[in-house]
Amino acid sequence: MAEYFNIKACLSGSVPLGNFNSAFNFTGLRHIDSAATKSLAVDGFYVPLVKVELMKLPLVLRENVRHAVPCSWDPMALA
């Protein structure tokens, strides 16, 4: 069922999207959700509200964004 939602959202894979978890009141933790679920059913239509396509490639970050983002991950410096 998660794959069906992903196909409708033009995504590959079987990792559930947030809207799938929300539709069935799931936690997002597969082992907990699968243990508590016997079957799934959906009745209705999936209506995408928007489709975003990036037209300009390659994407380049603006200079102020590049300077604001640290080059390395240092949790102590970020705290």
Amino acid 52: pLDDT: 78
User: Hey, how many other C-beta atoms are within 10 angstroms of the C-beta on 41?
Assistant: 6
| Spatial CA neighbour of 36 closest among 49, 52, 25 | 25
Task: Tokens for 3, please give them.
Answer: 């794959």
Q: What is the pLDDT of residues 12-56, one digit of tens each?
A: 777 777 777 777 777 777 777 777 777 766 666 666 677 878 777
Per the model's pLDDT, the better-predicted residue between 7 and 17 turns out to be 7
Q: Give ∠ CA 30-21-35 in degrees, rounded to 5.
A: 35
For the chain, the domains span 2-78
The answer to whether residue 10 scores a pLDDT higher than 70 is yes
